[in-house]
Structure 1
Amino acid sequence: MTHPFNASSNICPGPQKRRGFLKMGLAGFATLSLPGVLRLRADTEVPRKKKTSVIMIWKPGGCSHIDTYDPKPNAPSEYRGPFATIPTAVPGLQFTELLPLQAKLAEKFTVLRSMRHGSPGHPAGSMRMFSGDTDTRDKPKPKLPSWMAVTKYQRSLEGNRNNPLPSYVSVNGPGGSYNGPAYLGDAYGAYAVTGDPNAPNFSVPNIGITDAAKVKHLGRRAALRQKLDTLERAFDQSGELESLDEFETQAMTLLTNQKTKEAFDLTREDEKTRDRYGRNTWGQQLLMARRLLEAGVHVVTTSLRGPLCGRVQNWDDHAVNHHVFDALRFRAGTYDQAVSALIEDIYSRGLDEQVLVVVTGEFGRTPKVKTNGGRDHWPRLSTLAFSGGGFRMGQV
């Protein structure tokens, strides 16, 4: 089977086998048990000048692929919806009119229209995408670690990290109930940043402290804690103190290193750049993600949810929540601007060989529109968009 990132044609070669999909560099989205990842790494690792970092843009609830990246212009109206199709920069590839900015940049990313799984609920569908969990039942928490946590674990095996920033950061990222480090331990979870980065008073608290007296005081407290838990360490059967050590090291570095504060500071960006992303929560989240990867973070996740999504603040466009087409019209402009700005920025800064942008959600929406104006969950097919990562772009 022709590898989709090396094909000479833009025609989709059909659903990929699991091993072929893994080789695209997105192991976590298909099957991510830890032994499987380590085995894949040994089998397929190729020399690279720099390791690939990832920005995952998560659309919680499940975006309608038919109304965005995978239109069906020749289908009956009850399937295709009201949106016109538009040409993209890639001959033969069409999007809907909701994504004009991304359509102009289509040669800089690839869409995978054959993503499918069998988990129809939000928890199970999300866990399938984050960790490869094949259990189709919804669960209150994941039993397998997310691909993000596995990445952090794998990078930790390379030795001490010289960069003061965490290797894995969540900027208003996907909810913790659907993903996490599971049995790897909390030390491999995300450093979570919350709040609206577009707010004039936004800041990440307690990072980059420069006051010498405060830094000295923090050091004394850390030393005292180490003395107090010396006796407990012999009875630590679960490794919780080891995780605590890891947390403490990360916390002290974040608290006392000025570089950490600069990485999160969007005021250091050119005003035109901030405008290009959009002066809103989503646009500034993606801009922060780019800044963090430039500063040395390996994985950044960010979730496009909240008031910019509409009434129920996510992409779950059942008729009971809101009319699917009205909801898509409401959020499309903000979404299209933010994602296209990030892709343009990645390429203009020469980061496309080292940074992979992934845009996805837990599943797609039903092909047929409900009579009352909604599309329901559809795990049988959805579209993922990728940009950069050193892969060949402009394909479907």
Structure 2
Amino acid sequence: MSRAAQRNRTHGWNHSLVTRREALQAGAIGILGLGMNHLTGLREANAASATKPHGKAKKLIFIFLSGGLAQHESFDMKPDAPENIRGEFKPISTKTPGLQICEHLPLLAQRSESWALCRSLTHGSNEHSAGHHMMLTGHSTLPTGFSPNAPSRKDRASIAAIGGYALRERQKNNLPTAVVLPERLVHSSGRVIPGQHAGEMGPRHDPWLIEASPFHNASYGAFPEFAFDHQQRGKADNRLFQAPQLSLPSGLGMESVEGRLTLLKSMKRQRRALGHHAQVENFDRLRQGAVSLLTESSVHEALDVTHADSKDLDRYGRNSFGWSLLMARKLVAAGVTLVQVNLGNDETWDTHGNAFPHLKDNLFPPTDKALSALLDDLQASGELDETLIVMAGEFGRTPQITLLEKHYKLPGRDHWGALQSVFFAGGGVQGGNVIGASDAMGAYPTERPVKPENFAATIYSALGIPATAAWHDIENRPHQIYHGEPIAELF
């Protein structure tokens, strides 16, 4: 191994073993076996090579709002627009002079000094699956052969998978680096949404899935307190949020972990057995991660959130949103580096109709409460500066309010990839900061347009991942991690 390669390994990063300039030379392409398909990524990474990571964050909580949060009803209100644009909600002032957000997010308004906004994220798709892939992977173009109907190993790797790969050497225990909870995003038809796993990186790099929330094809939101159906079909929702079964990535030689963790005492025998095997057998890092999830008492406490301290439950909320963010907070405290929280099942935030009552009564109250409790906890413990929180969906909503009478009793907004507002907190983010702006209708960016590539790069940079970092495939070919510049003004 060359001295340069040894230096890269010493610092725990996978870097390209040649400079980008060398790799882009025609001779180097042939010598290294790089196909023409690698040129685009290497060229794009050239622009990012000078970026110095902000590097203050040690942990990430990525809150994903599947369905698409309406910017007009949340963080980019247009009170002076015509009625069919501005909607029913009114803005309120935050603690930051001049910054206003929706009246139904009063707790976040009181904590504006702890968070920032980007009001100008934009991409080119109004379709759910494509939008999910773009925002979950940080790529505004879709891979060749992309299908909205199912995930594929040709899909690009998710931000959680990339971050988990890049930060695996930072993990000081045997816990998995990246976790997704409390459920996989599944369409009401039963198809799994693309963009959630490691894609082309391969199954061994998939984030670990912690399933605590059962699938329901006609009920959304923060059950049991705030469950609702977009189309008000009246289908019963009897789901229970419970300490979950752990779903392991395929290919580990451990197909499943039997049983649930509903009662911790029921796991004692399995924990003892797995702990014994971990000592006497040559488990690799991933298998040891599986053992650690079952043997670490701090992990058991983190997973068993429905039986958490009553004061914590009162602050976060006794519902799936509150339990999910409390679980995320406990997992990062236990040592997990990245946690993606799907705040509601697939298309929970897809407010085509009945938008205003559902946002006011079912979506904003548990979100406002749980996210504010998370900010308070991290602030009180001194961990907010080293824990980056981001919140986004796959797209925003249309400027024009519409009524689809065939399906809904009341109006809402349709899909809109051209603009969404994204929330950032912690990890060195400058609170009270607003990046970018939109036009008077809330339709398009007018200042500082930001792409999914910039969104992903901001996360990687805040976590201290170098701009030269790459992941290597099974043939040891480098694939750059950065494909855009971070949103430097946030920090």
Tell me, yes or no, whether TM beats 0.5: yes
**Residue identity opposite 1:195 in structure 2:** A
1:155 to 167, 178, 195: 167
Q: Distance in 2 between matches of 1:213 and 1:287?
A: 24
Report the counterpart of residue 23 of structure 1 in structure 2.
Answer: none
CA 1:35 to 1:300, structure 2 compared with 1: closer, same or farther past 3 Å? farther
CA 1:37 to 1:351, structure 2 compared with 1: closer, same or farther past 3 Å? farther
Q: Distance in 2 between matches of 1:374 and 1:213?
A: 49
**Residue identity opposite 2:318 in structure 1:** R
1:177 to 193, 197, 204: 193
1:167 aligns with 2:172: no
User: Contact 1:173–1:301 (CA<8 Å) still a contact in 2?
Assistant: no
Q: TM-score, normalising length from structure 1?
A: 0.75
Report the counterpart of residue 339 of structure 2 in structure 1.
Answer: 300
Report the counterpart of residue 273 of structure 2 in structure 1.
Answer: 215
CA-CA distance at 1:190 after TM superposition: 1.7
User: Contact 2:176–2:286 (CA<8 Å) still a contact in 1?
Assistant: no
CA 1:152 to 1:42, structure 2 compared with 1: closer, same or farther past 3 Å? farther
Q: Distance in 2 between matches of 1:287 and 1:333?
A: 16
Q: Distance in 1 between matches of 2:331 and 2:278?
A: 30
- Identity percentage of aligned residues: 32
Q: Distance in 1 between matches of 2:44 and 2:292?
A: 32
SS class of match (1:356) = strand
CA-CA distance at 1:37 after TM superposition: 7.3
Deviations 1:96-140 (A, max 9, x none): 211111111111100110011112111111111121333357533
SS class of match (2:291) = helix
Deviations 1:245-301 (A, max 9, x none): 554232233233434323323377532122011111111110110111111111111
Q: Distance in 2 between matches of 1:293 and 1:213?
A: 21
CA-CA distance at 1:174 after TM superposition: 5.2
CA-CA distance at 1:305 after TM superposition: 1.6
User: Contact 1:113–1:382 (CA<8 Å) still a contact in 2?
Assistant: yes
Q: Distance in 2 between matches of 1:61 and 1:108?
A: 26
SS class of match (2:61) = strand
Report the counterpart of residue 329 of structure 1 in structure 2.
Answer: 360
CA 1:149 to 1:122, structure 2 compared with 1: closer, same or farther past 3 Å? same
User: Contact 2:67–2:347 (CA<8 Å) still a contact in 1?
Assistant: no
Q: What residue ranges of structure 2 are gaps of 5+ in the alignment?
A: 1-39, 186-191, 214-222, 225-238, 246-256, 405-410, 435-491
Q: Distance in 1 between matches of 2:86 and 2:319?
A: 30
**Residue identity opposite 2:335 in structure 1:** G
Report the counterpart of residue 251 of structure 1 in structure 2.
Answer: 290
SS class of match (2:327) = helix
Q: Give the paired residue count.
A: 334
1:113 aligns with 2:119: yes
CA 1:388 to 1:144, structure 2 compared with 1: closer, same or farther past 3 Å? same
Report the counterpart of residue 23 of structure 2 in structure 1.
Answer: none
Deviations 1:297-318 (A, max 9, x none): 1111111225xxxxx9611111
Report the counterpart of residue 206 of structure 2 in structure 1.
Answer: 189
Bigger shift: residues 166-175 or 360-369? 166-175
Q: Distance in 1 between matches of 2:372 and 2:271?
A: 45
Q: Distance in 1 between matches of 2:135 and 2:104?
A: 25
CA 1:40 to 1:269, structure 2 compared with 1: closer, same or farther past 3 Å? farther
Report the counterpart of residue 144 of structure 1 in structure 2.
Answer: 156
User: Contact 1:364–1:379 (CA<8 Å) still a contact in 2?
Assistant: yes
User: Contact 2:69–2:350 (CA<8 Å) still a contact in 1?
Assistant: yes
Q: Distance in 1 between matches of 2:184 and 2:104?
A: 24
CA-based RMSD of the aligned residues comes to 3.3
CA-CA distance at 1:194 after TM superposition: 1.4
User: Contact 1:33–1:131 (CA<8 Å) still a contact in 2?
Assistant: no
Report the counterpart of residue 368 of structure 1 in structure 2.
Answer: 400
**Residue identity opposite 1:378 in structure 2:** W
Bigger shift: residues 200-209 or 117-126? 200-209
Q: Distance in 1 between matches of 2:60 and 2:332?
A: 8
CA 1:35 to 1:355, structure 2 compared with 1: closer, same or farther past 3 Å? farther
CA-CA distance at 1:212 after TM superposition: 8.3
Q: Distance in 2 between matches of 1:125 and 1:392?
A: 28
Q: Distance in 2 between matches of 1:296 and 1:191?
A: 14
Q: Distance in 2 between matches of 1:147 and 1:35?
A: 20
CA 1:90 to 1:390, structure 2 compared with 1: closer, same or farther past 3 Å? same
Report the counterpart of residue 18 of structure 1 in structure 2.
Answer: none
Q: Distance in 2 between matches of 1:345 and 1:34?
A: 41
Report the counterpart of residue 67 of structure 1 in structure 2.
Answer: 73
**Residue identity opposite 2:60 in structure 1:** V
User: Contact 1:58–1:173 (CA<8 Å) still a contact in 2?
Assistant: no
2:300 to 254, 258, 261: 261
1:44 to 52, 55, 61: 52
Matches within 5 A, 1:205-244: 205=245, 209-211=267-269, 214-215=272-273, 219=277
Q: Distance in 1 between matches of 2:137 and 2:158?
A: 4
Report the counterpart of residue 4 of structure 1 in structure 2.
Answer: none
CA 1:300 to 1:184, structure 2 compared with 1: closer, same or farther past 3 Å? same
CA-CA distance at 1:163 after TM superposition: 1.3
CA-CA distance at 1:72 after TM superposition: 0.3
Deviations 1:313-332 (A, max 9, x none): 6111113xxx2212212222
Q: Distance in 2 between matches of 1:67 and 1:201?
A: 28
2:349 to 310, 315, 325: 315
CA 1:34 to 1:214, structure 2 compared with 1: closer, same or farther past 3 Å? farther
Q: Distance in 2 between matches of 1:290 and 1:340?
A: 12
